[in-house]
Amino acid sequence: MELFWHRRDLRVADNVGLAKAADRGTVAPVFVFDPAILEHGSDVRVRRLLDGLAALAAAYRDRESDLIVAHGRPEAVVPTLADALDADRVRWNRGYSGLARERDAAVRRALADVDVAREAHHDAVLHTPDSIRTNAGDPYSVYSYYWKKWTDREKDAPVPTPDAADLADPETLHAAADPAMRADGNAAADGGAVADDVAVGELPTASSLGFDDPAADVGPAGTAAARDRLSTFLADAVFRYETDRDYPARDGNSRLSAFLAYGEIGVREVYAATEEAMATAADRPEDEAEASVEAFQQQLAWREFYTQVLYHNPEVVTENYKTYEEGIEWRDDPDEIAAWKRGETGYPIVDAGMRQLRQEAYMHNRVRMIVASFLTKDLLADWRHGYGHFRDRLADHDTANNNGGWQWAASTGTDAQPYFRIFNPMTQGERYDPEAAYIREYVPELRGVDPDVVHGWHECSPTERANAAPAYPAPIVDHASRRENALAMYKRARGEDPDE
């Protein structure tokens, strides 16, 4: 018997650690609600996690097995479950954040103390975060160079899905759950029971974990939903990805990010499917079809680039990746930050994005860049305010991607995004949402307002605004003046004279 510990890999298909366990015999799957991880949770992400776990448990039941669900410290719970199941080995797929690596190290030590074999596998990315390096042996800090090596590397094929015969039957799992719950806690450092709860196929409620159900619609969960979305995307939109992905009113993005974040579909399966799409691209009338598929593959590479940045620099979750000689003098006006969070800045594309986030726990990628630039360069607010808000509100939150994107926008991150590159929110809206269709979908105050007025809102007089959309606010800051303030702020941070 082997115990497989699920974390952010909520699937039975194309799961490296699970497949390896099934190769050796019967597998008992478990998920542990870790209080240390839940401390960093949010209503949105806990709801999305519970939905993904429900789909995972159903997938096991379809295979005449089930999922053990426990609540407690993994370094105590996992060895106790291994003992209750008489498992001789525990496997899991590696996490790459600092918090995940600390947790995994604690579990390895606890299993070693009770003489249970343990093995961790690379699964979440196509190429491990220490495998693509510069010629000098250093991790990459510039994406374009990383991409060149990433695209040249051979990619592993999806791994087999375990058969029903490879999985422990529900009776075996139930028989193990009760003694694990009653364990006297010898493995626990502070004594007492090692788990607050152990059950088979029974998930806690959000409220029992200390969270509320979010107002946002977190979207579908599970492998079946992920595959449906992938199939729909690859049927047509992927061939227009290069031209459509920046336009939020078009259905040009994959919307796979949450499925990948929770590991409900394997990245090998996604990549293999894009290669199949690439093979058919030449038969399509669009000249750029192959380039569009490659442009989507680059997004998979970005995900792995930021994973290796986090792996080698775990401190970037709270600290700047790029340091400035004098430090950055963030303005951090609480009223302006609050208006940004509410979607009431008076800049239509910014407000549309923030309201989409509130309603759908999702935001279009181009708009994420716009709202991030606005917070850091127009409001002169520390990127950590935005990172924290996105972490709490995004169903697809991934520490590496979220952090990497925010630090890129703030010019504190990788890939040499210069401090003087500052998005103009009005021209961005006019360029990528020319008919204001996206804006008017999420900002009802502007429905029926002419697109030229929407995109020229910053130039309208108070009377013109009152006549066009009396309920929509005037801009809370002047972009032109704030742009100059931002340039001066970054020059001072670099030790330069802002007047030169």
What pLDDT score was predicted for residue 184? 47
Does residue 486 sit within a domain?
yes
189 occurs within a structural domain: no
Question: Do 338 and 279 share a structural domain?
Answer: no
Q: CATH number for the domain including 263? A: 1.25.40.80
Reference 297, options 250, 234, 219; nearest CA is 234
Tell me what pLDDT residue 49 has.
Answer: 98
**269 found inside a domain:** yes
Please check whether residues 438 and 339 belong to one and the same domain. Answer: yes
Residue 404 in tokens: 């990497």
Q: 275-309: per-residue pLDDT in tens?
A: 999 998 877 877 688 999 999 999 999 999 999 99
Residue type, 97: S
Token duo for residue 499? 């007047």
What is the spatial order of strands in the sheet that 197-200 belongs to? 117-121, 89-93, 2-6, 27-33, 68-71, 197-200
Compute CA distances 202 → 65, 68, 176, 182, 349, whole Å. Answer: 13, 8, 15, 17, 43
Query: For the domain that residue 61 is a member of, what is the CATH number?
Result: 3.40.50.620
Q: Could you list the pLDDT tens digit for every one of the 500 residues in the chain?
A: 999 999 999 999 999 999 999 999 999 999 999 999 999 999 999 999 999 999 999 999 999 999 999 999 999 999 999 999 999 999 999 999 999 999 999 999 999 999 999 999 999 999 999 999 999 999 999 999 999 999 999 999 999 999 999 999 999 999 888 776 665 444 444 444 456 688 898 999 999 999 999 999 999 999 999 999 999 999 999 999 999 999 999 989 999 999 999 999 999 999 999 999 999 887 787 768 899 999 999 999 999 999 999 999 999 999 999 989 899 999 999 999 999 999 999 999 999 999 999 999 999 999 999 999 999 999 999 999 999 999 999 999 999 999 999 999 999 999 756 778 899 999 999 999 999 999 999 999 999 999 999 999 999 999 999 999 999 999 999 999 999 999 999 999 999 988 87
Q: Are residues 301 and 400 in the same domain?
A: no
Q: Does one domain contain both 356 and 481?
A: yes
Whether residue 172 lies inside any domain: the answer is: no
Q: Which run of H or of E encompasses 3?
A: strand 2-6
Residue 335 CB neighbour total at 10 angstroms: 8
- The predicted structure's pLDDT at residue 197: 82
Which helix (DSSP H) or strand (DSSP E) does residue 71 occupy?
A: strand 68-71
Residue 291 inside a domain? The answer is: yes
In degrees, rounded to 5, the angle at the alpha carbon of residue 16 between the alpha carbons of residues 62 and 81 is 65
Assigned domain for 51 exists: yes
What pLDDT was estimated at residue 185? Answer: 45
Give CA 83 to chain center in angstroms.
34
User: Same structural domain for residues 347 and 231?
Assistant: no
> Is there a single domain that holds both residue 472 and residue 338?
yes
pLDDT digits (tens, 9 = 90+) for 333-392: 999 999 999 999 999 999 999 999 999 999 999 999 999 999 999 999 999 999 999 999
Note whether 241 and 361 are same-domain residues: no
Q: Are residues 56 and 11 in contact, defined by beta-carbon separation less than 8 angstroms?
A: yes
Q: How many other CB atoms are found less than 10 A from the CB of residue 87?
A: 26
What total of structural domains would you count in the chain?
A: 3
User: Which residues constitute the domain of residue 1?
Assistant: 1-123
Q: Residue 132 falls within a domain, yes or no? A: no
One domain, residues 396 and 474:
yes
Q: Indicate if 284 and 386 belong to the same structural domain.
A: no
What amino acid is encoded at 114 in this protein?
A: V
CB 72 within 8 A of CB 196: yes
Q: Of 101, 123, 145, at which residue does a domain stop?
A: 123
Phi-psi region at 160: left, alpha or beta (left = phi > 0; alpha = psi -120 to 50): beta
Burial 213-223 (b: 16+ CB within 10 A, else e): ebebebbbbbb
Query: Of 102, 123, 144, which closes a domain?
Result: 123
> In terms of domains, do 344 and 488 share one?
yes
Own/partner pairs, 208-212, CB within 8 angstroms, 24+ separation: 209/33, 209/38, 209/41, 209/46, 209/71, 210/38, 211/41, 211/42, 211/43, 211/46, 211/47, 212/43
CATH of the domain at 425: 1.10.579.10
Instruction: Note the pLDDT of residue 498.
Output: 86
Are residues 349 and 477 both part of a single domain? yes
Examine residue 348 and state whether it is found in any structural domain, yes or no. Answer: yes
Quick one: pLDDT at residue 198? 87
My answer on whether 299 and 387 are in the same domain is no
